[in-house]
Amino acid sequence: MGLFSRIIRTFGPVGGYEVARQICRSQPRILMYHRFSSAPAEGKCSSKHFEDQVKHIKRNYNPFSLIGLMEYQREHGRFPPHAVVITVDDGYRDFYQYAFPILKKYDVPATLFATTGFIEREHWLWPDKITWLLNEVSEIPETIQIDLIELPSGPVSAENRPVYWKRLNDHALSLPDQEKQQFIGELTLRLNTAFPLSIPGAYEPLNWEELRELQDSGIEIGGHTVTHPSLGRVDEEQAKEEIFGCMESLTKNLGERPRTFCYPNGQPSDFKPFLPGIVERAGFYGAVTAFPDARGVAEPYLMRRHASGDDMFQFFKSVSGAELIGLQLRSEVRLGMGAVVASYGR
Ligand SMILES: [Zn+2]
């Protein structure tokens, strides 16, 4: 049994989270959200759960925007106690509709990372295109084989839709950006359909006016590229265009320079060693990943984040520091084992 499970067993869940909160009081946690809804819905954080979470943060933690946290650290030479940062990726309109009123009600700051080409409505986010395609068609007319992907002919149902979505999404993620766009185009043709000219309501972005209102109300607006590619799958030139382009667009439209950045998709495979340098040269002061590990917020241009959303168990694990403690213990065990193996080998 892991240490944390033992703590939970001894102190009960509430006591266990409190122990984690105390152990991690000087290690900030950055929480990551994406989408919101009024009622429970797949992949979205409902208003009810978000309000419970914001109330819990307000009562037990010290909430900051990401730049607020960085400024505090610069001024004081250390992080504030019990610091938690709420971050929201992409720039969907549902943040404004459902999450913002709750943040305002409890006076809790947050950081929103906006994909500027999406805000401009020049394109929609590509995973949404795959979702839309699979919702649009009820039947695959002929077996589709593109690269290594195969979708058999036959009806598209509630059962196989998530399976197909994952298959297509995983494949698209593995492709260089341009090939990914071609793949989605090819898929559209094979399914005998075409994307609507404007972004459907379910996948709608915020507009600039709403972003300015958010900014004026204390929500930090950070950068998230122009077209949301995996920056691990574009060349250096394109990475520069995405990062500098997003900085320029936000500065022009919001009248203020964004100060923090979020790598799209944000997994270890979405990185290249030159990226933090480009983000810094573009003028950002810090950046976040989309995965947690033992390093926490130790690297300003690669600050790790913990998943959050509708799942209350995941929220408590993330916010209390229980997940971070688990990762740090595991990494110490690994390092410890490495030392043992090294001394044995000598
Ligand atoms: Zn994103």
Report the separation in Å between the CA atom of 127 and the middle of ligand 1, taken as the mean of its atom positions: 10
Same domain as 153, residue 92: no
**Within a domain: 330:** no
pLDDT in the model for residue 221? 98
Per the listing, tokens 């505090």 go with 72
**How far apart are the CA of 159 and the centre of ligand 1, in A?**
26
Q: Is residue 342 part of a domain?
A: no
pLDDT reported for residue 203: 96
Residue 247 alpha carbon to ligand 1 centre in Å:
16
pLDDT at site 217: 96
Burial 97-127 (b: 16+ CB within 10 A, else e): bbbbebbeeeebbbbbbbbbbbbeeebbbbb
* 211 and 253 inside one domain: yes
- Is residue 95 domain-resident? yes
Q: How far is the CA of 174 from the centre of ligand 1 (A)?
A: 16
Residue closest to 265 by CA, chosen among 154, 145, 126? 126
Structurally, the chain folds into a number of domains equal to: 2
Last residue in a domain, options 190, 216, 231: 190
In angstroms, the CA 107 to CA 232 distance is 37
236 lies in the same domain as 282:
yes
Dihedral of the alpha carbons of 224, 119, 197, 100, in degrees to the nearest 10: 110
Which residues form the domain of 151? Answer: 126-190
Q: What is the CATH number of the domain that holds 270?
A: 3.20.20.370
Q: Do both 153 and 238 map to the same domain?
A: no
Q: What pLDDT sits at residue 10?
A: 72
Distance, CA 265 to ligand 1 centroid (Å)?
6
245 within domain boundaries: yes
Alpha-carbon distance 163 to 73, whole Å? 44
Whole-number Å distance, alpha carbon 1 to ligand 1 midpoint, is 35
Give domain status of residue 163, yes or no.
yes
For ligand 1, the distance from its centroid to the CA atom of residue 88, given in whole angstroms, is 9
Distance 344 CA to ligand 1 centre (A): 45
Give domain status of residue 329, yes or no: no
Kindly give the confidence (pLDDT) of every residue in the chain, 346 residues in length, as a single tens digit, with 9 standing for 90 and above: 566 667 666 766 777 889 999 999 999 999 999 999 999 998 999 999 999 999 999 999 999 999 999 999 999 999 999 999 999 999 999 999 999 999 999 999 999 999 999 999 998 999 999 999 999 999 998 999 988 888 999 999 999 999 999 999 999 988 888 899 999 999 999 999 999 989 999 999 999 999 999 999 999 999 999 999 999 999 999 999 999 999 999 999 999 999 999 999 999 989 999 999 999 999 999 999 999 999 999 999 999 999 999 999 999 999 999 999 999 988 877 766 554 444 333 3
Q: Give the Å distance between the CA of 290 and the centre of ligand 1.
A: 9
Which contiguous run of DSSP H or E holds residue 29? strand 29-33
Q: How far apart are CA 94 and CA 160, in angstroms?
A: 27
| Residue 35 CA to ligand 1 centre (angstroms) | 11
How many angstroms does the Cα of residue 74 sit away from the middle of ligand 1? Answer: 27
Cα-to-centroid distance, 264 and ligand 1 (Å): 5
CA 228–ligand 1 middle distance (angstroms): 6
- Give the total residue count for the chain: 346
Query: 134 and 97 in one domain?
Result: no
320 C-alpha to ligand 1 centroid (Å): 24
pLDDT of residue 342: 43
Q: Please list, in sequence order, all residues whose beta carbon lies within 8 angstroms of the beta carbon of residue 117, skipping any fewer than 6 positions away.
A: 123, 225, 226, 227, 228
d(CA 314, CA 79): 24
What distance in angstroms lies between residue 95's CA and the mean position of ligand 1's atoms?
Answer: 14
Ligand 1 centroid to residue 91 C-alpha, Å: 8
**CA 149 / ligand 1 centre spacing (Å):** 24
* Distance (Å, whole) CA 60 – CA 341: 42
- Centre of ligand 1 to C-alpha 224, Å, is 7
